[in-house]
Amino acid sequence: MPRIDDKAFYEAAIKIHGITAMGLNWHSNLSQEIRFDVILEMLPNDLESFTLCDAGCGFGDFYTFMEKNFQMCKKYIGVDALEFMCNVAKEKTGCEIIQADICKESLPHADYYICSDAMNVLSEFETHLFIRNCFSACSIGFIFNILHGDFDTTTYNYTTTQQIENIAKELGVKCVTYSQGYMENDITVGFFK
């Protein structure tokens, strides 16, 4: 079970903030873009040669961030569990957007998978499933940011470096990269094959 009802969690924020970064429970557009920038830095410069799947794509904001930064991929696919977000992302991006439970369902193949903080309201077990499924569906790497630390809250899931290392070992990740310090209690991780 998720730590919270994610549908209610996002619907409440959208009701207040609309189709914005804050509607996705980000603190601000800036905090969303800081995390997106770190992910983009971990992706190859010749991104237009690769397919990219955005796991937990929300409103497709990473796609528009790539456009704004002139760093487009060959093909973008978004995946999200919530129908409303998928509908907005389809309209906003014009790309293939799939409604699916990333922890349980088969995912499309892509060169790279990315995820920006979509795992923060999952349980530790679900986070493990999410990472495993995304890493299995990519041919090169999975880059994700997640809340980092050893905190116990009723809403958010924090992950320690040791937990990340354990998952990487179990999945046979050949190269793990980290980026920290851009935001308190946040880490971006690259799992590469």
Per-residue pLDDT tens digits for 107-125: 999 999 999 988 887 888 9
Taking only the tens place, the pLDDT of each residue in 76-88 is: 999 998 888 899 9
Is pTM beyond 0.85? Reply is: yes
- Strands (E) across the chain are located at 51-55, 75-80, 96-99, 110-116, 138-147, 175-180, 186-192
